[in-house]
Amino acid sequence: MGRLILVLSFAAGLAITESPRCDTSSQHKASGVVYIVFCVDTETDGFNYGRFSQSLNLNSFKKGNIVDQALSSTWRDSLTDSFDESLKISWFLMTIEGYRPTSHGINAVAGEFLRMFSDRIPKLGDEIGWHYHHSDWYHDSLSRKTGWNMIRTFSGRIYNRLSDRELAMSHLASFVYHNRLYPASFRAGWLWENNDFSNWLDSVIPFDYSNNWDAVDEQLFMYHPSTHDLFTPGDLSRSVVRAIDAVDSAYVRSMFELAAAGRPVILAYYTHNYGSTLPRNNAIKRTARRFHELFCRYSDSLGVPFQYSTASEAVNRTRGIEMPSEYYLSVRYDSSSGTLYAACDSLTFGVPLVCVRIGEEIVGSLMEHDTDANVWRLRLDTARVDSFLVAGVSKTGETFVCGPCTPSNATAQNRNR
């Protein structure tokens, strides 16, 4: 039987955890820490939802413009927390169905961001997450418009070309395949989720910062949702975290008061990479500065420390995890049967993902349990598959990407063994 142990590549480098300097001031002793997460939904500017095919505006990613300015270490160091650490940003990079007919492709925004800035992300301790607008080109009966409309189903219904479920899977698989990067954190476009989508998301991503929902108690800053009602705490595995958009002084104060009672708290807020590129009008910097002033005010008045954290770090820190365990999958490809196997330990969150390239398409499939409960498998249609990649994430957000590999070179390498 032909077998190949694929070369493993560990891709956890984008969310660097540094040792925090301990806060020793006596005024903070009795309280919990407020872990601050700044989310930026990273998109293109001025998208025309009524136009099928169009060019992208990627100006915000140009050197010297809004994103570049927000990646300045000098500016970051001007905003420090109670541990004298600088502001961190969790960038939720958008995949885009709307631009598919153009040459830009589904990964245009994420690809451009990473092409320009990926080398600066680990140095600043930032994190890369995934931002997904569940949409397609179709006639929406509610808005009575044909355009790139938001989809409200996740039931297998076909839209322009693919079903709602296939769309989400193809976006995630494209993000992972093209960027060789698995996102541990997620934000939903338009904050849209329903129970079917929530249950699917629970198989692939451990940290979900989409909650700015009226249906959820404002004080419930983090919870595991229910299978039957994503707005209610329940039996699912991922952590849903509240992230606010408005600079809400009363909410910020209430989170610091919660921590003052002795428990760790997450306070997340979000903005976009839109608008003026003039430094004084930079929306990312302006939002960070306004929130920072509130954090300093309530930290001082209530004696509660705050710590800038990434989306993954914040959840781990509330659980007392500062340095998550290293994570990888043991992957092998059985060329005689065209079957991929991935063995894991108990650290794996959800189900490993296989991203397959067929021509220009990237198709995603979740692996299935083998007879051995600790092994997953997936049969590939080797006559059609050009290349494939296996990826996964641990419960603490460490990520793993292996590949891409082609069935033929896997077989050829196997013969050489």
| Two structure tokens written together for 285 | 């910097």
- Closest approach of Zn ion to the CB of residue 191, in Å: 9
Of 189 and 225, CB closest to Zn ion: 189
- Looking up tokens 């872990």 gives 35
Comparing CB distances to Zn ion, the nearer of 189 and 206 is 189
Smaller CB separation from Zn ion, 135 or 239? 135
**Site for Zn ion, residues 125 to 184, rule: CB under 5 A:** none
Question: By 3-state DSSP, what share of the chain in percent is helix, strand and coil, each rounded to 5?
Answer: 25, 30, 45
| Strand pairing report for 34-42 and 306-308 | parallel
When the beta carbons of 81 and 127 are compared against Zn ion, the nearer one is 127
Q: How far is the CB of 58 from Zn ion (least distance, A)?
A: 15
Q: Which residue is nearest to Zn ion (CB)?
A: 189
Query: Is the preceding peptide bond at 404 cis, omega within 30 degrees of 0?
Result: yes
- Cα gap 56→53, rounded to integer Å: 10
| Least separation in angstroms between CB 109 and Zn ion | 10
State the nearest-atom distance from the C-beta of 187 to Zn ion, in Å: 8
Query: Taking contact as CB under 5 A, which single stretch among the options 84-92, 108-116, 188-196, 394-402 is the one that binds Zn ion?
Result: 188-196
Q: Is the separation of the CB atoms in 134 and 150 below 8 Å?
A: yes
Q: How far is the CB of 81 from Zn ion (least distance, A)?
A: 27
One symbol per residue from 15 to 54: x for binding Zn ion (CB under 5 A), - otherwise; what is it? --------------------------x-------------
Any contact of residue 98 with Zn ion (CB under 5 A)?
Answer: no
| Interacting residue with Zn ion among 105, 129, 147, 189 (CB under 5 A) | 189
If you ran DSSP here, which 8-state letter would residue 411 be given? H
The owner of tokens 């209430």 is 254
Considering the complex, state which of residue 41 and residue 202 has its C-beta at the smaller distance from Zn ion.
41
Count of helices and strands (H, E) across the chain: 10, 20
How many other C-beta atoms are found inside a 10 Å radius of the C-beta of residue 9? 12
CB 108 within 8 A of CB 56: yes
Taking the complex as a whole, the smallest distance from the CB of residue 189 to Zn ion amounts, in Å, to 4
**Number of residues assigned to the chain:** 417
How many chain residues interact with Zn ion (CB under 5 A)? 2
Pick 189 or 364: Cβ nearer Zn ion: 189
Cβ nearer to Zn ion, comparing 191 with 358: 191
Using only the alpha carbons of the chain, give its radius of gyration: 22
- Burial zone of 386 (CB within 10 Å; 0-12 exposed, 13-18 middle, 19+ buried): middle
CB of 394 to Zn ion, least distance (A): 27
| Contacting positions for Zn ion (CB under 5 A) | 41, 189
